[in-house]
Amino acid sequence: MTTTITDPSLQVFSAGATDQLLMWRTDANLPLGGRTVTIAVSDFFLSMASSWMTMWFAALPTTAPEQGWWRNGTELAYAGDPTTAPALPGGMTTEQFAAVRNAYLASLPTTDPGDGVSDWNNSGVITKSIKSGT
């Protein structure tokens, strides 16, 4: 008997934090041009959300506007009446944003990996790697 991806016993409609996702990682040095890898759902979400949040956070002004979100050093802040503050992306609270950002920051290496792609923890600042030799 053959089992296919359309087999109802294989279909799930939610993912747990410890579930594993199967992915294809491209690698031109391998005979098939890549290999399969697995990643925990929680790590996958953290890697995707963290990158997006890092870009959004970096785009915020560094001085307080009359009213609105801004970047106070490494902290997210809101200037003006907090009761009128719009929701953060995804409806996150500032505490949730800080928790995700801090978890991502703690997961990063503390030295530049030199690959020109990865993020690293540069004394508490999420920093993009500089490619070796450039």
| Domain membership of residue 118 as a residue range | 36-128
Domain count, the chain: 1
CA dist 11 and 24 (Å) reads: 20
pTM of the model: 0.42
- Could you read off the pLDDT of 40-72 as tens digits, one per residue? 877 777 777 777 777 888 888 999 888 888 888
On the question of pLDDT at 1 being above 80, the answer is: no
Residue 16 within any structural domain of the chain: no
Closest to 118 measured CA to CA, from 50, 41, 36 = 50
On the question of pLDDT at 134 being above 60, the answer is: no
Residue 73 within any structural domain of the chain: yes
CA dist 132 and 116 (Å) reads: 7
- Could you read off the pLDDT of 84-133 as tens digits, one per residue? 777 666 566 667 777 777 888 888 899 998 888 788 888 887 788 887 65
Residue 14 within any structural domain of the chain: no
On the question of pLDDT at 3 being above 60, the answer is: no
Residue 13 within any structural domain of the chain: no
**What pLDDT is stored for residue 111 in this prediction?**
92
CA dist 79 and 119 (Å) reads: 29
Residue 108 within any structural domain of the chain: yes
Residue 20 within any structural domain of the chain: no
The 3-state DSSP class for residue 70 equals: strand
Residue 119 within any structural domain of the chain: yes
Residue 28 within any structural domain of the chain: no
